[in-house]
Structure formats: C-alpha cells, structure tokens
A and B are shown apart, each in its own frame.
Chain A
C-alpha cells in the first residue's frame, strides 16, 4: 500500500498491507526514483526491513523493528522510533541508522562503514567483528561487545558488560561508564586530545557532553598477533 497522508507530504508504506519482500522492493524502487523520504508504518517487530537498500533515501520506522534491519544497506538514513531486534545494521556499508530505543544482540555486526547510533542500551556482542563503521551507544552494552573487531570505532557512553573487546584485531573502543572486564588481548591506552574531539563530534549531537564522563580508551594489545608458547593460557581462554 502506498499513500500520501494529508498531514504530511512524506510517502508511507504500511507493513500491515505488505509482505517483507514487497516492502523492500517498494523501498528500493523509491530510493532509485530519488524520493527523499519515506515512513514505515506498523513495523510490529518485522524482520529484514530495509535490507540492501542503496542511495540517500531517509526512512523513518514508526515503531519497534525485528532482526537485521538496515543490513547490507549502502547510503540510506534510517531512524527507528522504537527498539530493534538482533543484528541491526549487520554488514552496513554506508549511511546512518538511529535507534531511539534499545538494540538487541549483535548491533552493527560486521559493519564496514557508516554509523549506527543507539540512544538506549545495546545487548550482547554489540559491534561484533566491526569492520570500519562507527557504533555509538548512549546507554550500556552487554556481554562481549566488539568481539573480534577488525576496524572502526565503538563508543559506549554508559557501562560495558564482561569481556569487552575480546580478541579484537584493530579499531578503538571508548567507554564512558563502568568497565566490567576486558577480553583477551584488549588493553587500556591513553586517551588523546584528538580522541576527545572525536567523542565531542559523535556525542554532542545526541545531547551528551563527553567531558561529563570519564572516558577510557581500549585498543588491541597485539600480544596475540603471533603465537608464543608462554601465552598458552591466553589462547586457551580466548574462544
């Protein structure tokens, strides 16, 4: 169903009237046409919405969404006026995804580029295998965030759960609240002036002054890049 509500000129697509495949095909067609913005009504936790969407279209999802929302997308701006299920923005190539509520497990998993912002909390494995995107969480993150992260940036304004940055290769993590525990080969390093500038850039737009928190910076220690027999216990504990 495609209609133009009287109160606004923004096009809307109603999930109640469309299968996921129809919805994504309509979205893709609208993006190709160069339509600037579209609203998605009645999402009701639907999975796989706006997957593989390319181009600069702005999509507002009016409610909570299911798994893989915005996955593989390249260029769109997504705003979710609710919470999201697992694997939000998985393998995102470019563009921005903003979640007003919470994001469940694996937010921004393997994301190559662009930015994912969660104004609430994020579940386990946020930023798992992050490959270059920026993930900003204003609340807390759960267990094993940034597991095997390869590049990019994870900013956690709140607390981080256990095993943060386990087996990360590269990239950087910033934590503004309590740090429960670091995973294998993750270490704290000195936070620089340019880091503070980055934090200002990323957090001030969402109404948070990074200087109100005592941010710590976590990077890869590089101790596990090459196997050393004396590190057996570290390898044993890494999974």
Chain B
C-alpha cells in the first residue's frame, strides 16, 4: 500500500496555497504508507534557456564542490540552500540530455540524489512523515499550479530518499505510483537496451522512464498511457504530471484505489475519500468520481478535463 495525491489549482487563490493543501491531503493517507513522503510541485518557471535542478543528499556531502562542478559544466545562475542537505540550482542548458547530465553529476558525487530537473518542477522527498518534510522544506509556503504527493510503504525495494516517490525522468515529468509492477525486470531490461540508466531498484522508477521515452518518441501523454496499460503488468494507480497536464491511469483490475474530486477552481485526486475532507475548501457538493478499471483521465492544468474523455457509465 501507498497513498497518492494529485492536485491542480485553476485560480490564483487555489494556486497560492497548493503546497499546503497537498500536505493536508497526503498526511491523512500516512496509514497507507508511513516510511517516506514526497511532493512534486510545479512552481514558477525559470527562463526558457534555464533549468532548475533539485539536489538532495547527506549534510556531510561536499556541497560547495557540487556547485563548483556545476559551474564548470554550465552557467550557474542561482544556488539556494532549501534546508540542510537540500539545494536548488538554476543552471544554463547543458550540452547533454537531462538524464545524461544528471547521471554524470551523480557519478561525480556518489550519494548525491537529483530528484528532478525542469523549468518548473521541484521534487522534495525523504524518509519520514509529511509533517517532517513540510517543516524541513517549507512546502506550506510554496505556491504551485499543480503537483503530486506520495506517502510510501516500501514493498519491493529499500527505504531511502532515492527510492521514495515522486520519480522523475527527463524534464518536468513526475509520477507517483500505488501498487506493484510485476513485469519489472522485463521492462527494466527493455528500457536499458534503449539507453535508459535506472538509478534505483524501485519498480515505480520504470514508469517515469517509460513515459519519458514514449513522449520523446513523439507520442502524446494520452497515447503513452494507453500503451502503458498494455505494457505494464501488475497493480497500479499512477498519477503523472508534466508542465501542462495531470493524468491518472488505473490498472485493468482496478486493484488500487483512487477518488477524483472536481470543482471549477480545483481538481484533487487521492487514494481515499476521507483525506479530501481535510481540504480547507472541501465542498460536499463537488463532483466525486471513482475511475474505472483501465481508465485513463487527463486534465490540462489550465483548462481542465476535455469532455471527450468523460467517464464511462460504469464508474462510480
């Protein structure tokens, strides 16, 4: 079990407190997974010729040397300490794809983790509770257009920051996953044959890299998720975010839960209903749906869900 949540704010009011609301929704789900917590927020974008890198690691890491390394590779525009062992760098665009650049940085500094890269995505994650993560990196003070959250109960791999969700690949792509991928090893080898370097042994990491590969090949997020349903065995409710979209996919057996709360100013997706009642703006009159088995839902973070993707009648 794990707890997952996703949220879009369509108004400036909902976006101003999105970090705080995500914490309020994910915290009651800790009963589903108490070992680690992670949040991915799509905050104000940096300039088109810049990337934001999120960096996490032990406090004893030679952080000034990480900044120096970055400065030798790319223009280092900004270097902020978020908290002990958590930094945000704004850099010029390197001469390599994002994952190759991240891999080179990791090779140079073993023990360094790079939760995300992109123009707006910022991933914060660590072993421990949601309130601990909030206190440490001040999630409640971070506005965002949309975001994902996860509270983890490890079933297949080790408990550490690297193995916590959200997982990310390429730029501005994040996923959270509740469930198990049962053809993980086959998928892993298939991805590795295509040049993907997996940094962890968490089955969920393959989802991020698989989707990144599909999107790089030119498929839409909708088409990539339809193909994921065919290629991924096991149990899953997956939430995916890009800078423009938030999406949900549920496995063919509907083995893992999801509830969707929709209002004109906000969309919230969560594993269980009760955590939605913790939203400060919770409205009993809002549309509440449960996606069906093998259902894919995609929202634009600016215009919401297109009518063409309306639910099948069997959904409750």
Could you list which residues of chain A lie within 8 angstroms of chain B, going by C-beta atoms? 44-47, 64, 66-67, 83, 85-86, 102-105, 120-125, 139-144, 159, 161-162
Q: Which residue of B lies closest to A44 (CB)?
A: B277
A85 to B316, CA, bound (A): 11
Could you list which residues of chain B lie within 8 angstroms of chain A, going by C-beta atoms? 252-254, 257, 272-277, 288, 290, 292-293, 313-316
Q: Which residue of B lies closest to A177 (CB)?
A: B313
A103 to B290, CA, bound (A): 10
B276 to chain A, nearest CB (A): 8
A213 to B152, CA, bound (A): 46
Give chain B residues whose Cβ lies under 8 Å from the Cβ of A142: 254, 292-293, 314-316
Q: Which residue of B lies closest to A63 (CB)?
A: B284
Contact indicator B316/A123 (Cβ below 8 Å)? yes
Give chain B residues whose Cβ lies under 8 Å from the Cβ of A104: 257, 290, 316
A120 to B277, CA, bound (A): 21
Question: Chain A interface secondary structure, helix, strand, loop or mixed?
Answer: loop
Contact indicator B253/A124 (Cβ below 8 Å)? yes
Contact indicator B274/A105 (Cβ below 8 Å)? no
Contact indicator A143/B292 (Cβ below 8 Å)? yes
Contact indicator A159/B314 (Cβ below 8 Å)? yes
Contact indicator B254/A105 (Cβ below 8 Å)? yes
Contact indicator B273/A123 (Cβ below 8 Å)? no
Give chain A residues whose Cβ lies under 8 Å from the Cβ of B277: 44-45
Given known A124-B253, A140-B314, A143-B253, contact A161–B292 (CB-CB < 8 A): yes
A66 to B257, CA, bound (A): 12
Contact indicator B274/A161 (Cβ below 8 Å)? no
Contact indicator B292/A121 (Cβ below 8 Å)? no
9 further A-B pairs in the complex, CB-CB below 8 A; given A124-B253, A125-B254: A45-B276, A66-B273, A67-B272, A121-B314, A140-B314, A140-B316, A142-B293, A143-B292, A161-B293
